[in-house]
């Protein structure tokens, strides 16, 4: 089925689609209807910019260039109507952007429910086991920090929960590490001594 051709032409000043008769000979190529062509140049420029802001306002996400354009127009004192409209659109999109951000809850490790602590213990165990099988030795302090940060970051990213490590976090990490070392020894896995 053939696509039906749209009737008329688009005016880039007022943003409307109008019949052929509403455009002069030069107006067709410039995409400016007769009524907009008769406006003073300052008003035409303002309306064209307002039309551009209106197209941006209908978008869900904006590009960097569109954010910059809205910022620029919201500070434009030459065209007060444009300035007001751009400021409103900018405020609306900032609010939309803020609303899309996930709310992150912060909790000390020692205040977590036991079920969640056990889940984190499992992550410690898996990460330590993987590290030792791959490297052949027990993790040092720098590795502890990296593994700890990785687990904490994963909870932020996937569960929007910032687990704040405290003394019980450190103590539990060391207990889990001892368990992993013991399990590896029981499986006759040899660890290099540092």
Q: What is the mean pLDDT of residues 49-65?
A: 88
Number of domains observed in the structure of the chain: 3
- Within-domain flag for 156: yes
Question: Tens of pLDDT along 128-152?
Answer: 888 888 888 888 888 888 998 999 9
- At residue 87, does pLDDT exceed 90? yes
- At residue 93, does pLDDT exceed 60? yes
- The answer to whether residues 23 and 87 belong to one domain is no
- Within-domain flag for 3: no
- The answer to whether residues 110 and 75 belong to one domain is no
Cα–Cα distance between 139 and 77 in angstroms, integer? Answer: 61
Neighbouring residues of 170: CB distance < 8 A, sequence distance ≥ 6: none
- The answer to whether residues 130 and 147 belong to one domain is yes
- The answer to whether residues 93 and 122 belong to one domain is no
Q: What is the mean pLDDT of residues 51-75?
A: 89
For the purposes of burial, counting CB atoms within 10 Å of the CB of 123, is it exposed (0-12), middle (13-18) or buried (19 or more)? Answer: middle
Q: What is the mean pLDDT of residues 164-189?
A: 88
Look up residue 121 and give its two tokens: 């213990």
- The answer to whether residues 116 and 179 belong to one domain is yes
- The percentage of residues in the chain with a pLDDT greater than 70, rounded to a whole number, is 94
Strand partners, 9: 18
* Enclosing domain of residue 161: 105-186
Of the pLDDT bands very low, low, confident and very high (cuts 50, 70, 90), residue 56 is confident
- Within-domain flag for 180: yes
Give the pLDDT of residue 9: 81
- Across all residues in the chain, what is the average pLDDT? 86
Of the pLDDT bands very low, low, confident and very high (cuts 50, 70, 90), residue 194 is low
- At residue 16, does pLDDT exceed 60? yes
User: Helix 114-135 vs helix 141-159: angle between axes, to the nearest 10 degrees?
Assistant: 130
- The answer to whether residues 111 and 177 belong to one domain is yes
- The answer to whether residues 82 and 135 belong to one domain is no
Farthest CA pair distance, the chain? 90
Q: What is the mean pLDDT of residues 182-189?
A: 82
- The answer to whether residues 118 and 135 belong to one domain is yes
pTM exceeding the 0.75 threshold for the entire prediction: no
Q: What is the mean pLDDT of residues 28-46?
A: 84
Last-in-domain residue among 101, 120, 143: 101
- Within-domain flag for 72: yes
- Within-domain flag for 193: no
CB 29 within 8 A of CB 20: no
Of the pLDDT bands very low, low, confident and very high (cuts 50, 70, 90), residue 61 is confident
- Within-domain flag for 62: yes
Give the pLDDT of residue 138: 84
């Amino acid at each position: 089925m053939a696509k039906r051709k749209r009737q008329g032409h688009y005016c880039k000043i007022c943003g409307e689609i109008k019949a052929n008769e509403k455009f002069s000979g030069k107006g067709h190529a410039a995409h400016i209807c007769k009524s907009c062509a008769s406006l003073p140049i300052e008003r035409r420029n303002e309306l064209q910019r307002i039309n551009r802001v209106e197209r941006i306002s209908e978008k869900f996400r904006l590009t960097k260039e569109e954010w910059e354009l809205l910022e620029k127009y919201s500070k434009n004192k030459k065209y007060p109507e444009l300035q007001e409209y751009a400021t409103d659109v900018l405020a609306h999109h900032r609010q939309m952007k803020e609303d899309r951000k996930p709310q992150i809850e912060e909790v000390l490790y020692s205040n977590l429910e036991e079920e969640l602590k056990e889940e984190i213990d499992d992550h410690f165990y898996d990460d330590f086991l993987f590290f030792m099988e791959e490297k052949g030795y027990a993790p040092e302090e720098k590795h502890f920090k990296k593994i700890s940060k990785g687990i904490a970051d994963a909870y932020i990213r996937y569960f929007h929960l910032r687990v704040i490590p405290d003394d019980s976090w450190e103590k539990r990490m060391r207990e889990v590490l001892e368990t992993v070392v013991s399990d590896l020894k029981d499986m006759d896995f040899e660890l290099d001594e540092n």
